[in-house]
Amino acid sequence: MITTGMAEPDRSSAAIAVLGTGSYLPAQVVTNDEVGEPAGVDDAWIHGKTGIRYRRQAKPDEATSDLAVMAARAALESAGIRAADLSLIVVATSTPDSPQPPTACVVADELGVAPGTAAFDVNAVCSGFVFALTTAERILHGSDGGYALVIGADVYSRILNPADRRTAILFGDGAGAVVLGPSRGGAVLATRLASFGADRELIEVPAGGSRLPASAETLERGLHYFTMNGRGVRDFVAEHVPGAVREFLADAGTTAAELALFVPHQANGRMLENLAADLGVPADRTATTVEEFGNTGSASVPVTLDAAARSGALNPGDLVLLAGFGGGMAMGLALLRW
């Protein structure tokens, strides 16, 4: 488990903060009836189990980098930062454009950043954005200044089995981004990262890597599809996340009652209701986009943060908790001063 920030109670002179947010959701809206038919379920069943009504789907010619670039441009505009000012780009994704090169390098080229600007990917599945945020914040702290672009982007529609009701009904495509840089009043106060490899088989794409390369046989067996043990994931979240959040906040010298906004990974609306209730966070201080966009993987936390920021739900000085959890299994927490 990695924790940053808490051992340095006074970091204001060197604070790194979120300076701007952005997001991009593809134009095509997909209803519950559309995804439910091949999976053998209907709108009432899907909404009752998940709280989801719609999700977005990328066009055939849209890849993860295309969504990431759009979210990045929105975040840069929000922060008032030019792409040429960036010293670092980190893209969190588990659906890269291709195994190589890093999707972040594609994004960097499309944005027109200065030659030599560092760009790399992070794969911690649905926790990826918080892992990427933590990495970028630490790098900026150890450097001589500059700005970082942190993006969470996924196109899960390309790896779902339409007949698998455990997964096909949950996921949508999207991208969210933030710009990090020297504080203008806010700060990334603390982060905590943890992984639980013994539970890694709860969420996986079995084929397509070095252990089980793609072949006619793996395609025939559907091993290139995303798979998930839904009950196991729910049990994992219930067992690990509430206690970890309470401990994290206590170590940071605060409580859930002091949070202005809780921004969890949008895994499943019913799961989020249970998690917020367990933590004692009221519904009006729990940010959600799951009903409109579904589970967008590593994009869900930054997409939801951007929606909250643009709606006027956040004010300077507010305490904001980001919580990502998912495949790995992994969990990432970040406490922000807005």
Which of 52, 106, 81 has the alpha carbon at shortest distance from 295? 52
DSSP code at position 24: E
Selecting among 32, 123, 268, 295, the annotated active-site residue is 295
**Pair 16, 138: CB distance under 8 Å:** no
> Could you tell me the two tokens for 313?
């739900």
Q: Do 260 and 286 contact (CB within 8 A), yes or no?
A: no
Q: Is 274 a catalytic residue?
A: no
User: Do 113 and 82 meet the contact criterion of CB atoms below 8 Å apart?
Assistant: no
Specify the length of the chain in residues. Answer: 338
**Measured distance CA(103)–CA(64) in Å, rounded:** 8
- Whether residue 126 lies in the annotated active site: yes
Residue from 174, 131, 137, 136 nearest 266 by CA: 174
Residues 66 and 79: their CA atoms lie apart, in Å, by 20
Which residue among 32, 105, 126, 268 is the active-site one?
Answer: 126
The position carrying tokens 């091949």 is 38
Bridge partners of 57, per DSSP, are: 28
Query: Long-range contacts made by residues 215-223, C-beta under 8 angstroms, separation at least 24?
Result: 222/161
Is the separation of the CB atoms in 89 and 65 below 8 Å? no
Query: In whole angstroms, what is the distance from residue 319 CA to residue 315 CA?
Result: 9
- Residue 32 a catalytic site member: no
Report how far residue 108's alpha carbon sits from residue 128's, in angstroms, rounded to the nearest whole number.
Answer: 19
Give me the sheet containing 187-195, strands edge to edge. 2-4, 187-195, 330-337, 319-326, 261-264
Name 228's bridge partners. 203
Query: Of 265, 268, 274, 315, which one is the catalytic site residue?
Result: 265
Q: Pairing between strand 187-195 and 330-337?
A: antiparallel
Q: Name the residues annotated as catalytic.
A: 126, 265, 295
